[in-house]
Amino acid sequence: MNQFSAEYSPQEIHMWFERMQYHDSTESSIVIAVPSSFVQDQIEQRYARAIEDRLLEISGSPIKLEFHVQRAASSPRAQRSSAQLVREEQQEASASQESSRSAPRLSVTTAVKRPHPSLNQRYTFDNFVIGENNNFAANAALAISKNPGTAYNPCLVYGGVGLGKTHLIQSIGNTVYQDIDNAKIIFVSAEEFTNDFLNALREKQTAQFKNKYRYADVLLIDDIHFLQGKEETQEELFHTFNALYEANKQMVFTCDRPVSELRQLKDRLRNRFERGLNVDLKPPSFETRLAILQKKLEQSNRNIPESVLNLICSNVTTNVRDLEKALTRILAYAELVGKDITEEVARQQLKDIFVTHHQASINIDFIQRAVADYFNLTTNELKSKKRTAAIAFPRQVAMYIARQITELSTTEVGLEFGGRDHTTVMYACQKIENKMKSDSTIEPMVKRLIRDIRESNAKG
Ligand SMILES: Nc1ncnc2c1ncn2[C@@H]1O[C@H](COP(=O)(O)OP(=O)(O)OP(=O)(O)O)[C@@H](O)[C@H]1O
């Protein structure tokens, strides 16, 4: 390391080199122990190539640098949460940055930059309210943004409409963009990726296309369910995926359902998506909905009575975008018409948004009531934890019907049946499908129930 001291500042040596320890070696590699993935990533990006070049000079044969993350079990540092560690290391990194020379590849930056051209500046972690429905996904996204290309790669965030998927992956992009100089961040919807690819084919510019996507440091693709049935684009994404994965570049995708439920997706691409961390976003609880509205009010420096906030949160339950829409409308009304916002005004102005949400929930209520009546049970029994055959089978029928005639995902159906997991719903649907094949009485029964439910729903 002596030769390095002439080239690097004392701060850099203290910050990075003194945190490396010899761990192991083979003929062609040296394994270095480091205290965290973040340190590993930084060393890889800043110095690995220079160290490997120096090792080649000294030994005359290529020696690869490998890393082993080793946290001291008993140190107070090790007892802190990984999020705290990431934060601390990030702060230390920023502090040491001032005195470090500019790195040849990616390096941490402290200056606030101009917005990224394809990212919405509003989509940041600061603006994202974390509740029980999204804390796993939000913390994963936060960890990725501090340490791209390491622990959670690839990551797939899935969930229903308007629950914050785009907000979360763009927050990753915005954070990496602000924190790391020269990081090449690509955010596209799956539709844009497809169009880009088809244009490249048409214009015979596939080499440019490959250069664009296969040299990204962070690739963010929104709404991958759009790729269903698009075999050529899937094939191209498969190769893009492999190139980035091999190069330890971060990929994050979003989808409106678990990948296992995407029907027209090639297995090998599905396997790639499933290889990393898959996290879901559920609809927010009443308290989280309230916190989201309060945050939006705070940001716009406005205020509305608590009773109106409660009214909105009680009536808009499954979609944060609609929650925002309701708030925006009521604030605009107050400003343009100059009236105080009362519960009555809110009820009047938000009638259509409220009705849409009630209709969405009526379907599943109808289904549960109709199925419970048919089997002479109560809806509470259907939603209960009881697993006796007399209840389990009707519950599976109700779940199957819910999947057939509503837009709800398996995650959402699971929530409506006492907070069950989406895999339970998938299992139930499979079970009913099998029974319909093996027992000729089942299919007519399910079809009749579906017809009755549709008719009574139409009558209102
Ligand atoms: N937890 C949250 N805190 C604050 N705002 C949120 C939260 N979740 C969602 N939003 C806001 O709700 C709106 C919809 O979110 P977003 O577009 O990210 O949803 P989505 O899941 O990508 O929807 P879609 O499936 O329609 O693409 C955005 O304006 C976003 O900022």
Q: Tell me the per-residue pLDDT of 365-403, one tens digit each, with 9 for 90 and over.
A: 889 999 999 999 999 999 999 999 899 999 999 999 998
- 101 pLDDT band, cuts 50/70/90, is very low
Indicate the pTM of the whole model: 0.62
Q: How far is the CA of 97 from the centre of ligand 1 (A)?
A: 34
Together in a domain, 261 and 326:
no
Together in a domain, 239 and 368:
no
> Tell me, what's the pLDDT at 23?
81
Query: 324 CB less than 6 Å from ligand 1?
Result: yes
Q: Is 395 left (phi over 0), alpha (psi -120 to 50) or beta?
A: alpha
CA-wise closest residue to 261 among 274, 252, 251: 274
In a domain, 260, yes or no: yes
In tens, the pLDDT along 229-269 reads 999 999 999 999 999 999 999 999 999 888 887 878 999 99
Together in a domain, 147 and 201:
yes
Together in a domain, 9 and 34:
yes
d(CA 284, CA 159): 11
Query: 237 CB less than 6 Å from ligand 1?
Result: no
- Number of folded domains that form the chain: 4
End of a domain among 72, 91, 123? 72
Cβ-Cβ contacts under 8 Å for 331 (sequence gap 6 or more): 300, 302, 304
Query: 128 CB less than 6 Å from ligand 1?
Result: yes
What is the domain range of residue 195?
Answer: 135-281
In a domain, 307, yes or no: yes
Q: What is the CATH number of the domain that holds 313?
A: 1.10.8.60
Q: What percent of the chain shows pLDDT beyond 90?
A: 52
**Residue 295 Cα to chain centre, angstroms:** 21
Together in a domain, 149 and 256:
yes
Together in a domain, 272 and 181:
yes
Query: 162 CB less than 6 Å from ligand 1?
Result: yes
Together in a domain, 23 and 153:
no
Q: What is the CATH number of the domain that holds 452?
A: 1.10.1750.10
- 455 pLDDT band, cuts 50/70/90, is low
In a domain, 33, yes or no: yes
49 or 455, greater pLDDT: 49
- Interior angle at CA 364, CA 363 and CA 370, nearest 5: 90
In a domain, 83, yes or no: no
> Tell me, what's the pLDDT at 428?
96
Q: How far is the CA of 154 from the centre of ligand 1 (A)?
A: 21
In a domain, 448, yes or no: yes
End of a domain among 226, 253, 281? 281
In a domain, 246, yes or no: yes
Q: What is the CATH number of the domain that holds 264?
A: 3.40.50.300
Together in a domain, 189 and 211:
yes
End of a domain among 281, 307, 328? 281
d(CA 448, CA 357): 26
162 known member of a binding site:
yes
Together in a domain, 375 and 304:
no
Together in a domain, 311 and 378:
no
Together in a domain, 369 and 427:
yes
Which residues in 95-126 are b (16+ Cβ under 10 Å) and which e? ebbeebeebeebbbbeeeeeebeebeeebbbe
Together in a domain, 150 and 274:
yes
Residue 83 predicted with pLDDT over 70: no
In a domain, 383, yes or no: yes
